[in-house]
Amino acid sequence: MQLQLTAMIDIFSMIVIFLILGSVFGGTELILPPGFTLPASYSKESVESAPQLYISSTEAHFAPLDLRIEAGKFGDPESEATKAHAKAIGAYVAGLPQAQVSSGLLLNVIADKAVPYRDIFNIVRTYRAAGFQTVLFVTTGKSTSGAPP
């Protein structure tokens, strides 16, 4: 008697198609520029998949648009360079799918540990005004707790 496999193949085909359509593939890749050192944190939260903003002591680099600007420029929100940068970021946000924007737009901030708070605050303020609702500071993990390294 020949084994009847048709039914099983049908069901498995449907399950495979269902799983393929229902899966969300997402990877988070961080490429640290040379000379970049991330601060350490005890936070247990993992990195989310989001547009990446690199901040060094000299410049801010928005990776999705390959947009670079001098970090100190953000101190003056009325300067032409800052306005042009904010406009480009605003256009990028406006071009994103509405579902992604309405669910809360994330921004990964990857900053060198020596960047002064003034630059961090000014840059983050500009990006929040452009439409990024949640800012995530990317750090390296520390397994122990109690005090900074």
Partner 1 sequence: MSNTFFEKPHRRHVSELNIVPVLDMLTTIIFFLLLSTSFMEFNKLTVPPAQVSTITDPVAPPPLQPRLAVTRVGASYQVLLTWAGPVPGSVKQADVASAQALFTVLSKVVKEFKVRFPSESTLQMGLGRDVPFEDLIWAMDAVRESISDIVLYSPEEAEAEMLKMGATPGET
List residues binding partner 1 (CB under 8 A). 4, 6-7, 10-11, 14, 39-43, 55, 111-118, 120-121, 124-125, 137, 139, 147-148
Minimum distance, C-beta of residue 94 to partner 1, in the bound complex (Å): 25
Nearer to partner 1, 88 or 131 (CB): 131
Q: How many CB atoms lie within 10 A of CB 56?
A: 17
The Cα–Cα gap between 142 and 149 comes to: 9
Minimum distance, C-beta of residue 105 to partner 1, in the bound complex (Å): 18
Nearer to partner 1, 88 or 139 (CB): 139
Nearer to partner 1, 68 or 113 (CB): 113
